Chains A and B, each alone.
Chain A
Amino acid sequence: MDVLNLFLSLVPVTLAQSLILSFVVLAVMIPFRILSFPDLTSEGSYPLGGCVCAVALLAGVPPLLALALAAAAGFLAGVVTAVIHLRFRIHTLLAGILVTTMLYSVNLRVMGKANLPIFGEAKIYDFFPFDLGSVNYTKIIIAGLFALFVFVLLNLWFRTERGIAMRAVGSNPDMSEAQGISVWKATIGGVGMAGAFAAIGGGLMVQSQGFSDANMGLGILINALAALMIGEALVGKRTITQMLAAPFVGAFAYYQLISLCLAAGLPPSDLKIATGVFVLLMLAGPELRRAKGPRAAQESFRE
C-alpha cells in the first residue's frame, strides 16, 4: 500500500480533472476530425449533462443511471445540431452556437435555478470499495475506468462496418452516399455520440464537484480544443487509434501545462487569453509554415 500511496501522491491532483475533460475533448474531436463537422455544441451539452445529472440524483436516481440520462440528453442536443445543419444547410458552427444558446435556457429550466448543490446525494465515485486516503484517488480511478472503457469501445466501434461507414462520410460524403451509406444517419449518429460524451463529462464533473451550475460550460470548448491540439501534436492524428488517443493524452497534458502556468505566477484570470492564444498559434501554425513553401491542399470542412 505504501508504494501505491507514494505513486499516487506523485500523480498531480489535476489528473481527475483531465480525465473528466477528456470526454469533452472527445466530443470536439469526433465531429471535427472524423465527420469533418466542426461543432461547438459541447459548450452547451456539457452543462446540460451536468444539470440533468444533478436533477436526476436529487430525484433519487442512482448515479450510474443519472449519468446515462445525461448522456441521452447530450445525444439529443447533438442530434438537433446535426439536423439543423443537414435540413436547413446552416453552417455547422452556427448550428452549434444556436443549440448552445438555446440550451442555456433549457438548463435553467431543468434545474429551476442557476445552481444546484448535490452534496448529500450518492455519487458514482462512492462505488470504489477501498479507502485510498483521499477522495481524489477514487475519482481518478473511477473516471479513469470510464475513460478506458470508452477508449476501448470507440476503438472497436470505428473498426466495425458501421464505424468505418461513419468515418467515410467525414472523408468523402458524396462517395459514401454512392456506396449506399446514409450521410444523414452517419452524421446524426456521430454528432449525437459527441453530444453524449460531452454530457457524460458534465455529469462526471457535477458528481465530482458536488453541485451543478448553469455557467459551468463557459469556455470549456476552447479548453477542449487546446487539449485536442496538444494531444494531436503528441500522438498524431493519422490513424483512428491516434485520433482516439489524442483527446485523453491531450487533456492530461493540457492540465499539466495549466498548473505549470499557474505555478509560474500567471493570474487565473489570464488563463483564457493564454489558452486562446495557444489555440490560435496551433491552428495558425500550418498556415504560417505554408506561407514560405508552396500552398498545400486545404482541409475541407462542411459549409
Chain B
Amino acid sequence: MTQQALDVKAARKTFFPGTADEKIALNDLNLSLDAGDFGIIIGSNGAGKSTMLNAISGALPIDSGQVLINGTDVTRTSVDRRAKHVARVFQDPMKGTAASMTIAENMLLAEMRQSPATLRKGLTKARRDKYRDLLAQLRLGLEDRLETQVSLLSGGQRQSLSLVMAVSGEPDLLLLDEHTAALDPRTAAIVLDATMRAVEALKLTTLMVTHNMQHAIDYGTRIIMLDAGQVKSDITGAAKAQCTVQSLVDQFSHKSDHMLLGA
C-alpha cells in the first residue's frame, strides 16, 4: 500500500454529546490526500470544514477515528508536535501572527516548526536577509519593515505575512481555512495569488476551504464537498475540468435541499 500524505479514517467529533445541543460535526469522515494533492473544500456553513481542519492540525481532539500524516498516526499528538508537518492560515488575520512582536520575529517563529528553538541568537543577519527575500515576493513592501510590530499592519498585510510564514519551511501539509474571506477583494486577490504561486512552486500538499465556487473550479486538483460531517463528493481529473459554477451549486442543492435555504 502506498503511503498517503494525509489519511483521515472514520473521524468522529460530537459537540455537547448527550445534550439537547448535541451536534455531530464529523460523522465518520474519511479523506485521503496523495503528496502534491491540492484539495479545495467546499460545503455550506456548519458542514464541518473547520472542524475537519482542526482535527487534522490537532487543535481539536476527535472522539474516534484516526488521523495519519505521511503514514504516521498522529491522532493523539498535540498541536505543537504536529507543527513539524502541518502549517495553517486561518480566516481571522489576528490568529496567525503574534501581534506584539515584529515581522522578523514572527518569521523566526515560523522557522521553529521545522527546527525547535535553541539557545542561539534568534535574529541573525543571515536570517533577516532571508526573510527580506521571502517577503519581497509578496510585493507589499513588508521586506522593508522587518522591525515593525505586526499589530501596526493592516489585516491584508497580516494575512500575507501569515501565508509566507505558513509556506516557509515547506510543510508536509498546508491548511487554509477561508484565509481570504475576511479581506477586501483586492487584498484577497493578492493573498490568493501568492498562495497559488507558493503551492505550485513548492508542490505543497494543500487543503483550502473556500466559499468561492469559481476558485474551486480554477484552482486545485480536487474539489471535495463536505456535508453534515462527511465527504459528499470528491471530484478530480476530467470531471473537475468539466465543473461549472452551476454544476457545483446543483450538487449543493441535490445533496441537501436545506442548505441553500439555510444559507
Residues on A lying within 8 angstroms of B by beta carbon are 159-165, 167-168, 170-172, 174-183, 238
Contact = CB atoms under 8 A, between A and B. Distances in A.
Contacts of A175: 95-98, 109
Given A168-B101, A178-B83, 5 more contacts: A160-B119, A161-B120, A167-B98, A178-B80, A180-B112
B110 interface: yes
B121 A160 contact: yes
A179 B81 CA distance: 9
A177 B79 contact: yes
B88 interface: yes
A164 B83 contact: no
**Chain A residues touching B, majority SS:** helix
B166 to A, nearest CB: 9
Interface residues of B, number: 34
A164 B97 CA distance: 13
B101 A181 contact: no
Q: Which of A159, A174, A178, A183 has the most CB of B within 10 A?
A: A178
Contacts of A167: 98, 100-101, 105
Contacts of B81: 180
A115 B105 CA distance: 48
Contacts, number: 91
B57 A178 contact: yes
A156 to B, nearest CB: 8
Tell me which of A164, A168, A176 has the highest count of chain B C-beta atoms within 10 A of its own C-beta: A164
B241 interface: no
Contacts of A168: 98, 101, 105, 109
Interface string B46-66: 000000000001010000000
Nearest to B116: A180
A172 B84 CA distance: 18
Nearest to B104: A164
